[in-house]
Structure 1
């Protein structure tokens, strides 16, 4: 088709019912036109169907006027409205720099949507398509945007998201989006709702003291390794049987099972890195079917905790190093890795990953990560990867019981 070839944009809208799409194209077929583009959406039972087609060929004998009259008559008989617009050529090419912008709101207000769309336009971006990913437990919508570099768009929308108290993620478009990924999570206050060392401390009677040190470390006010040694020292003398008690106290974050199960079905690999302890992460790895797990190890001598850890410390730098190691072992480039965490000791890992997600994180971490999720459901991360709630539910329904 030449850019100046005449074309018709046919738009029908009204109450949806089976057979409308087939009916429209049956009417068009009688005029010998070619289909250039189609777009259809159904919202609350109302259909909007657009078809970009060539004009009737001269050799066919039918005229554009006859086509218009036929389509209007068919639409009226079907209880629909029709609009037919003359023009030339195909749709204009999308601009360079293409992104998926995911917005999570609970609720998602019209004011917020206007602000996000306005900021996209202000950067020179164009919204080519919008669709809903989920309606429960949060509203998640995705904008396909072109015309602006993803990095610039991410910076601009981060400011708007913070001002509007919503979560916004910007991911570059491309084939890699649906390619298998490696997803690596922090454990304490991310995969699980608890701080494991505080569970141990509860059995040692020093929970308040340990919690105070933990909070300072997560805010970045205290060196992690120093804080780890200080907290573990308070556990000296505990009977090793307390490990089983702590494992039984661990509570998964809502949505954790769904997140991991869905990722595994998509062929992704999933791991955890923790400043906590292998005595818990090894059990989580087995229970959840994780591919990778790394953490510190509490030293046990003669059936009691010594108040020391053994082996290489998993600290802030160690988490990033482990992410790279896991990616190499998984055969996944860093650009296709996702890291999820909440504390300052996760920052290096979040920044090293292709997508770093701050999950209900401290303000310092939320500002530094690629994106933040502030709803208390870990499976909301799926929406940032373009996976819809309907896809998750359909996969669950088809799974063997």
Structure 2
């Protein structure tokens, strides 16, 4: 089992807690504001304890605390019998606040829970940079649809600013359809996922290779050595936009590689450039217990080397035929095309013992659409417009490790794992 992460921060209000308590008796909400220092929490509970009594007196129902740039917000919700008199506690709490130079607010109420709002989502907003207009627009869309932002926390400040919002009151699919175009108009990226344990259970991550895991198109690197780069690049671009059948376009392009010596694979592997953050993404996922695979319309002669280098669990791609040390211009076996990528995802998930609902697929081209649709969440990474329009979420910054923020993994946790290993991003 891999670790999970929870960043403590206040909800929309530090009032009724989100748990069921059998007694609907009186409540007392205590809020503390001011400069943080060691011992504040202990001192506060010391005051409360002196008035708690025994045999059904004060009971702690909820506690939440956040320290933001040295400023403390601490909230405690207490339940009490209906006939309990809080006057003495109120007075001592206010005196304590004066002594500690803290603002203290005490409010009595009844009951300790409000009905949970339907439609809970986890919204991740990415910006490079993240502008006030972008966050303002997200909040405006949520409010306009009758939803509420219950919690906001920063996940990362590098390589992008990543902010996570807990939203309630709107169906996640409706919210996604509202926020995606709004974020695009503001130059930000947004991912909306249904809140709950399922979000933490993305056991298997499967990526496209060309222009996703790596910055290059392998067939174009091969074509450069064959002297037909422009011809191949033109066909590739049309195929990735969905204008050409992938299998037919691959056959046409591979035919142009006929006669290349097989030593070209070594040269091309040396030319391949990983996308920034690729190593960090894979390394972090593996250390957290995820399984990681790649599926490509490219070629096993290169993808197998990448999989071995990164320590991946699964890999699938096409295989170029080589006879007498030279490429024949043909592919061996069935072509890994758009349906083939989705089939590979299903095969990886079955081998890993992971339901498709607990998978993440990442890709950039029309060839990836079936795979993105089949996964629990499909991420369009710096993708063509047709892919961005159909994927669950889009990431348009050039850092592959930003995918970690969509899984709720904070940047400081990622950095800690990297530093422990003595590695760089």
TM-score between both structures, scaled by the size of structure 1: 0.95
- 1:273 counterpart = 2:298: no
Deviation at 1:180, TM superposition (A): 5.1
Deviation at 1:178, TM superposition (A): 2.1
- 1:53 counterpart = 2:78: yes
Once the two structures are overlaid, the 10-residue window that deviates more, 327-336 or 33-42, is 33-42
- 1:27 counterpart = 2:27: no
Aligned equivalent of 2:333: 311
Contact 1:41 1:47 in 2 (8 A): yes
Partner Cα separation in structure 2 for residue 168 and residue 183 of structure 1: 19
**What is the 5 A alignment of 1:118-133?**
118-133=140-155
Which stretches in structure 1 are left out of the alignment for 5+ residues?
none
Aligned equivalent of 2:33: 13
Secondary structure, counterpart of 1:145 in structure 2: strand
**What is the 5 A alignment of 1:285-364?**
285-364=307-386
Secondary structure, counterpart of 1:300 in structure 2: strand
Which stretches in structure 2 are left out of the alignment for 5+ residues?
1-20, 53-57
Contact 1:94 1:147 in 2 (8 A): no
Deviation at 1:365, TM superposition (A): 0.7
Deviation at 1:4, TM superposition (A): 5.2
Task: Give deviations 1:286-317, integer Å, cap 9, x for gaps.
Answer: 11111110001111111111111111100011
Secondary structure, counterpart of 2:51 in structure 1: coil
Partner Cα separation in structure 2 for residue 106 and residue 13 of structure 1: 32
Task: Give deviations 1:21-43, integer Å, cap 9, x for gaps.
Answer: 11111111111021111111111
Contact 1:2 1:89 in 2 (8 A): no
**What is the 5 A alignment of 1:164-243?**
164-179=186-201, 181-243=203-265
Partner Cα separation in structure 2 for residue 25 and residue 399 of structure 1: 40
Deviation at 1:318, TM superposition (A): 0.6
Deviation at 1:91, TM superposition (A): 3.5
**What is the 5 A alignment of 1:58-77?**
63-77=85-99
Deviation at 1:98, TM superposition (A): 1.6
Contact 1:56 1:64 in 2 (8 A): no
Partner Cα separation in structure 2 for residue 240 and residue 375 of structure 1: 35
Contact 1:341 1:357 in 2 (8 A): yes
Contact 2:121 2:168 in 1 (8 A): yes
Partner Cα separation in structure 1 for residue 41 and residue 308 of structure 2: 49
Please, which of 174, 180, 188 is the counterpart of residue 158 of structure 1? 180
Aligned equivalent of 1:252: 274
Once the two structures are overlaid, the 10-residue window that deviates more, 391-400 or 298-307, is 391-400
Partner Cα separation in structure 2 for residue 91 and residue 65 of structure 1: 23
Change (3 A) 1:180 1:355: closer
Task: Give deviations 1:9-58, integer Å, cap 9, x for gaps.
Answer: 11111111111111111111111021111111111111111111135886
Aligned equivalent of 2:61: 36
Partner Cα separation in structure 2 for residue 74 and residue 7 of structure 1: 20
Task: Give deviations 1:205-245, integer Å, cap 9, x for gaps.
Answer: 11122111111111111111111111111111111111100
Task: Give deviations 1:238-292, integer Å, cap 9, x for gaps.
Answer: 1111110001111111111111111111211110000000000000111111111
Partner Cα separation in structure 1 for residue 301 and residue 187 of structure 2: 37
Task: Give deviations 1:343-392, integer Å, cap 9, x for gaps.
Answer: 01001111111100000011111111000001111010011111111111
Partner Cα separation in structure 2 for residue 397 and residue 245 of structure 1: 32
Secondary structure, counterpart of 1:142 in structure 2: strand
- 1:114 counterpart = 2:136: yes
Contact 1:5 1:89 in 2 (8 A): yes
Aligned equivalent of 1:79: 101
Contact 1:217 1:224 in 2 (8 A): yes
Contact 1:3 1:88 in 2 (8 A): no
- Aligned residue pairs: how many? 398
